[in-house]
Amino acid sequence: MNTIISCTRQGKQEGLKTNAIKCMSINVWSGLDYIGTFKMGEYESPDIREKRYQALLKEIAKLNPDIIAINEANFLPDYVKRLSKDINYDYIYHVGVAGLKIGRIGIPVNLKEGDAILARKELCLKQVGHKQLSGGGIITNHFSFHTQDATQVLIGKVIVKSQPIYVAVTHWHASPMDTPHNRNLLQQLQKKYGYTNEDYTEAIQKLEADNKWRMDEAKLMVEYCKAIVPGNAPLIVMGDFNTTVDMPEMQYFLQQGFRDTHIPKKNADTYTWNPLKNLNILKYYKTDTKKKFETLYAHLSKIHELEPKRIDYIIVNTSQSPDSIIDSKVCCDTIYNGIHLSDHFGVYAEIRIN
């Protein structure tokens, strides 16, 4: 737990004096390819990574959010400590993936990544809960022992007009979605590139398993949020869910008492993963998909990766009425000094707490 400042005034926590909360969620991108044992591959030079960080500071200054949710902060705790100091916010964080580590020592040497919440000091941010959603092994801020992708939810509490507001950040498993389009695509790829029937069967099994992975995350996260957050308390959930709003796992999550803050706007971009516009995806992720891959599922995964989609969200529980959403939009899509600050675009919402 990393709470930096006391918010007590005359013996009472007052917190923010307005009930209109400005929230921002952004996957800041580790810049890693997640391939390697001793060290993960890195897409960019330290100089470019620093330019992306400076772009993040400019975007925060422009939006002036009260609360920020961060995914893929790497290396922890350095990244979030530096950011909190540069913008003068309190923070909480938890490591999400790190491999085999004790403190800073272990492998992969350049991976100790996770999620964080930052908030204005007057919001009195403190951590109230953390739950690993998937991945097995042991993952703490001080040591870790795991060998596969792992996900989590981190829950904090802030004070708004003397009342507690709960804030969560999460990052779900990334994979192609189990849709009729993708199943038809698997058949087309098999026929066109000569994948075997065994390849096709394995791809379907992997597709189903990866989507069950996300559904299990959704169920466990709903259960944990209900256990931690009082039923009548406002809860804001932010992060990279790696799925679209129409998919079963997201529909399940929303149907358990949550509301998407997204407000459709004419001619406004809605994609937070946008290979058509994001300069980092265009530079580092482009691959020729008109060739045979090592596996059929890898072929599908790459095509899926190059399709635009809305997968980052700011969600409120239904203690907040639909008209409590003052504004919402895609953010972090500005080009600063010739670069985008991440491979994701972010989301911003202004919420009037009921």
* 230: CB partners within 8 A, 6+ apart: none
163-171 and 235-240 beta bridge pairing: parallel
pLDDT at residue 1 above 70?
no
pLDDT of 275 above 60 = yes
Please check whether residue 326 is in contact with residue 351, taking contact to mean a CB–CB distance below 8 angstroms: yes
**What whole-number percentage of the chain has pLDDT above 70?**
96
Mean pLDDT lowest among 5-9, 56-60, 236-240, 260-264: 5-9
Q: Are 341 and 9 in contact (CB under 8 A)?
A: no
Identify the band that residue 7 occupies on the pLDDT scale cut at 50, 70 and 90. low
Q: Which residue has the tokens 């959603």?
A: 133
| 177 touches 243 (CB < 8 A) | yes
Structure tokens at 251: 């529909």
Residue 315 has pLDDT above 60, yes or no: yes
pLDDT for 78 equals 98
- Share above pLDDT 90 across residues of the chain, in percent, rounded to a whole number: 92
Task: Give me the mean pLDDT over the 118-130 stretch.
Answer: 98
The pLDDT assigned to 188 comes to 98
Lowest mean pLDDT segment, chosen from 4-18, 36-50, 53-67, 243-257: 4-18
Average pLDDT of the chain, as a whole number: 95
Higher-pLDDT residue of 346, 268: 346
pLDDT of residue 8: 53
Q: How confident is the model at residue 3 (pLDDT cuts 50, 70, 90)?
A: very low
Tokens 């009082």 found at: 230
The predicted structure's pLDDT at residue 268: 86
pLDDT tens digits along 28-86: 999 999 999 999 999 999 999 999 999 999 999 999 999 999 999 999 999 999 999 99
Read off the pLDDT of residues 84-122 as tens digits, 9 standing for 90 and up: 999 999 999 999 999 999 999 999 999 999 999 999 999
**ω into 264 cis (within 30 of 0):** no
Over the stretch 155-172, which tens digit does the pLDDT of each residue have?
999 999 999 999 999 999
Closest by Cα among 137, 138, 119 to 127 = 119
Is there a contact between 60 and 24 (Cβ–Cβ < 8 Å)?
yes
pTM: 0.95
> What's the pLDDT at 12?
54
In Å, what is the CA distance from 34 to each residue of 22, 40, 268, 284, 301?
Answer: 33, 5, 33, 13, 15
pLDDT band at 11 (very low <50, low <70, confident <90, very high): very low
CA end-to-end span of the chain = 28
